[in-house]
Structure 1
Amino acid sequence: MYEYEISAKDAAEILSEGKARLIDVREPWEFQVASIPGSTLMPMGDIPSRAHQELDPDERLLILCHHGARSLSVTHWLRQQGFDAAQSVAGGIDAWSYDVDPGVPRY
């Protein structure tokens, strides 16, 4: 079983190996300001209506928000729904910008 949180650096490595899918749960305006190539925008409020239609419960899902609070909440919900491989990116896109890719704008 995966931990509930994963560091931005570890998430980047797993994504570069094609071993996970990055789900961005921020709002569309936030996604326009800063996003990670290849991520799927699925705002937190849309998760309950979209998760079972668009996400695979057997796939490793890395959940991203601004600082990590929303993504952790979504990760807990997904785990309760049977998405056992969902993990929150600790520190969110802010940590990603700081630790992985300084080209991603901070806001």
Structure 2
Amino acid sequence: MAELRIDVETLAARLAAGERPFLLDVREPWEFDLCRLDGSVNLPLGQLQDFDPAAVGGGQDLIVICHHGMRSLRATLWLRGQGLEATNLDGGVDRWAAVVEPDMARY
């Protein structure tokens, strides 16, 4: 099974190397509108039961994102309970903005 967590530096390096994991952002739409990782898909935590596993391509990693990494950890654990290999982005978009993309809006 995939690691439970991934840090922003590792994800940034993987993206820079051309990897394209499925980025599932479980924040609320107003948060997603403020800032997001390019290519991420928004599905609020409260609607996670509506997630269609078929959206994740074969062999594609599933990375779950939120503001600081707590909601996404809950989502990651739930998705794993459903049999999916999900990984939580440690520190969420806030850490991403602080370390990887300093021009990204923060809240």
TM-score, length basis structure 2? 0.88
Amino acid at match of 1:103: D
- Give, in angstroms, the shift of residue 53 of structure 1: 5.2
Amino acid at match of 1:79: R
Structure 2: distance between partners of 1:87 and 1:9: 14
Amino acid at match of 1:67: H
Question: What is aligned with 1:104?
Answer: 104
Secondary structure in 2 matching 1:12: helix
Aligned length: 106
Secondary structure in 2 matching 1:38: coil
Q: 1:67·1:90 contact (CA, 8 Å) conserved in 2?
A: yes
Secondary structure in 1 matching 2:80: helix
Gaps of 5+ in 1: none
Residue-by-residue CA offset, 1:26-62 (whole Å, 9 max, x unaligned): 0000011111111111111111112335345753111
Gaps of 5+ in 2: none
RMSD: 1.6
Q: 1:15·1:22 contact (CA, 8 Å) conserved in 2?
A: no
Residue identity (%): 39
Amino acid at match of 2:12: A
Cα distance change of structure 1 residues 8 and 21 upon mapping to structure 2, 3 Å threshold: same
Structure 2: distance between partners of 1:93 and 1:61: 16
Q: 1:77 and 2:78 equivalent?
A: yes
Q: 1:67·1:92 contact (CA, 8 Å) conserved in 2?
A: yes
Segment drifting more, 70-79 vs 34-43: 34-43
Cα distance change of structure 1 residues 71 and 103 upon mapping to structure 2, 3 Å threshold: same
Structure 1: distance between partners of 2:63 and 2:89: 6
Structure 2: distance between partners of 1:26 and 1:40: 10
- Give, in angstroms, the shift of residue 13 of structure 1: 2.0
